[in-house]
């Protein structure tokens, strides 16, 4: 199957909102936001002023969105440089193990290298996700054990 990797544009908002539901279900969520709420949040995140994130999309030969890499730039990274932070890498099950994820990772590295002052690409995966960990190892990426992730929901402040 032939796929195209390209930046998301505003017209992709409905398809991205649908894909977000698929991603949520993949991670085991049973409480899914209503579609209109997801559409609004996708549009605000990717196309608001200023945008909160960027996304590369994987489009199949029929024009369907079948994967994405959502990322943001974070500052500071090393010294006063910044990093590209990959928040989500997802490829629909029917296209996994066909090199699509590797192509997305290569494209992200190209974006980071082309951005002046960007010193690295960073991402996380769950410790109990051996498939993802194996995927990243297969690309030659070593795990970094130097950080512990903390999280607090904003509604529990």
Write out pLDDT tens, residues 8-64.
999 999 999 999 999 999 888 888 889 999 999 999 999 999 999 999 999 999 999
Give the separation between CA 97 and CA 1, rounded to whole angstroms: 12
Predicted local confidence at residue 79, as pLDDT: 84
Q: Please, are residues 38 and 21 in contact by the beta-carbon 8 Å criterion?
A: yes
| Angle separating helix axes 13-26 and 35-47, nearest 10 degrees | 110
Q: Please, are residues 29 and 66 in contact by the beta-carbon 8 Å criterion?
A: no
The model's pTM = 0.88
Q: How far is CA 61 from CA 6, 58, 101, 116, in A?
A: 13, 10, 17, 33
Predicted local confidence at residue 152, as pLDDT: 79
Lowest-confidence region among 3-12, 51-60, 135-144: 135-144
Residue 62 backbone phi and psi in degrees, to 5: -90, 0
Q: Please, are residues 70 and 111 in contact by the beta-carbon 8 Å criterion?
A: no
The pair of structure tokens assigned to 80 is 């006063």
Beta bridge partners of 6: 57
């Amino acid at each position: 199957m032939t796929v195209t990797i390209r930046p998301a544009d505003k017209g992709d908002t409905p398809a991205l909102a649908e894909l977000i539901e698929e991603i949520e279900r993949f991670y085991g969520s049973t409480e899914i936001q209503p579609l209109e709420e997801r559409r609004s949040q996708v549009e605000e995140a990717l196309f608001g002023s200023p945008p909160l994130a960027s996304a590369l999309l994987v489009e199949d030969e029929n024009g369907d969105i079948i994967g994405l890499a959502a990322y943001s730039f974070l500052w500071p990274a090393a010294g006063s440089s910044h990093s590209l932070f990959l928040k989500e890498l997802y490829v629909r099950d029917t296209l996994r193990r066909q090199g699509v994820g590797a192509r997305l990772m290569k494209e992200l590295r190209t974006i980071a290298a082309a951005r002046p002052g960007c010193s690295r690409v960073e991402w996380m995966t769950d410790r109990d996700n051996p498939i993802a960990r194996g995927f990243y190892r297969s690309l030659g990426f070593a795990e970094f054990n130097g950080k512990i992730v903390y999280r607090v929901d904003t509604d529990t402040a």
